[in-house]
Amino acid sequence: MLTLINNQDLSRLNRQEQILVTSLRLFTERGYFNTSIHDIQRESKVSIGSIYHYFKNKEGIARALFTGLVASMDEGMDRIDSQYASAHDRCRAVLAWLMELTRRSPAVMQFILYARHREFLPDEKPICSSGPFLKMKEMVKRGMDEGEIRRMDVTVASAALYGGAIRMIHLALDGVLVRPLESYLDDVWSCAWRSVAMGGEGEGRWGAEKAPA
Amino acid sequence: MLTLINNQDLSRLNRQEQILVTSLRLFTERGYFNTSIHDIQRESKVSIGSIYHYFKNKEGIARALFTGLVASMDEGMDRIDSQYASAHDRCRAVLAWLMELTRRSPAVMQFILYARHREFLPDEKPICSSGPFLKMKEMVKRGMDEGEIRRMDVTVASAALYGGAIRMIHLALDGVLVRPLESYLDDVWSCAWRSVAMGGEGEGRWGAEKAPA
DNA sequence: GTCTATACCACGATAGAC
DNA sequence: GTCTATCGTGGTATAGAC
């Protein structure tokens, strides 16, 4: 789904994909309720008949986008999980990846993080209870068990560790940052890790890419 | 405006206030676009004619709520600003107040923090550029100038200091916290302050209510 | 599968009596 | 100021030809 969204050339996609890509753009630009089926028809160049052939209704389009993108993020978390050895490196990689995603596909981040899904997907769980977010929390928990992260309520630790970056992403999506989002990564991470890391001085035992001797 | 919202007894309010209180509740329960004028009429027991007597249109109701609540929060920030001497105490008081507000008037926090105002108030600035949020940032800046907070990008420091608490508030509004929001304050604050405070050990020079000798 | 034309309805907003 | 009744628009979704 993520590769689909990043695809620039609408004409190379099939009908169903054209509908999804166009809808995501319109939903994030104007909001779900400010986007009519006629808008989607006009901008995707797919007829209304075809739209209702592929999707039960407007809500169905939103649901397909939501579940597809959440699944993509879930895979991303799994990839990170298997690629890094310490909680420190894993969580940092998550932040880096979320920031990269925000640059490459702002609409995706906006749709995942920002939209009030409950308003148009009444049966969907809140985003914070979805797979990728639970995995982020799980990484924090493992960090505690393995002694990298101070013992405390896992929810609080997750909020502290990821909260700052998520705020920066919101600010980026709102267009109020003066520099590119990713240029803040080092500073954001430094603050985030300090807030939960075991020990007291600076970035601590796990602060540097290579731990001191 | 905040005292108005906290008022439980709808019948003691005048027409205009009944409309505002009911609208805020419906907007946050179902979302702005899922709330019709007829819904507001039905639940507020104020006729449609009266609604349009007091407000230009539906958007006008939302705008009145938004500007009123932002102004209330702005006053709250001013009160805190004048009441505490250090950045440490001021910022902590802000978190405590935001959490208290979330408990006492969840609809207010939801409307301020969560709603996608741009979708129904096209001319409004993003919430992060509004008065109270700028004041929160200003507190951080002063903390840097006075040596309590490490020198760094002010936006990053603000995101780090407030981001964790804001995430916890979101979780509380989504109903996924197991304990009352305010019971997490100490831990949330401890993490937040560590992330930006000058010095390294524990809560640092400014960590305790009374600084050590 | 793809399209056009259209049915149907809910909504925001107004008119006008009291 | 407050109300009821109603209008017109624009939206979702369907029917049915190709």
- Per-residue pLDDT of A136-177, as tens digits, reads 999 999 999 999 999 999 999 999 999 999 999 999 999 999
User: Which residues of chain B lie closer than 8 angstroms to A164, CB-CB?
Assistant: 156, 159-160, 163-164, 195
Decide if A201 and B201 are in contact by the 8 Å CB cutoff. yes
For A156, name the nearest residue in chain B, comparing CA atoms only. B188
Q: What are phi and psi of A72, to 5 degrees?
A: -60, -45
Mean pLDDT computed over every residue of chain A: 93
pLDDT mean values, one per 10 residues, chain B (213 residues)? 86 95 97 98 98 98 97 97 98 98 97 89 92 97 98 98 98 97 98 92 47 41
Is the Cβ of A195 closer than 8 Å to some Cβ of chain B?
A: yes
Q: Which fold has domain B2-196?
A: Tetracycline Repressor; domain 2 (1.10.357)
Mutate to test the interface with A, among B116, B124, B152, B201 (most CBs of A within 10 A): B116
Decide if B191 and A196 are in contact by the 8 Å CB cutoff. yes
Decide if A155 and B171 are in contact by the 8 Å CB cutoff. yes
Asked whether the predicted pLDDT for residue A204 surpasses 90, the reply is: no
Is the Cβ of A160 closer than 8 Å to some Cβ of chain B?
A: yes
* pLDDT at residue number B38: 98
Hey, what amino acid is at B34?
A: N
Asked whether the predicted pLDDT for residue A97 surpasses 70, the reply is: yes
CA B87 to CA B98: how far, in whole Å? 16
Mean pLDDT of A95-99: 98
CA B170 to CA B166: how far, in whole Å? 6
* pLDDT at residue number B10: 86
Q: What are phi and psi of B121, to 5 degrees?
A: -125, 75
Residues linked to residue A149 through DSSP beta bridges, in sequence order = A197
Decide if A192 and B194 are in contact by the 8 Å CB cutoff. no
* pLDDT at residue number A6: 86
* pLDDT at residue number A200: 61
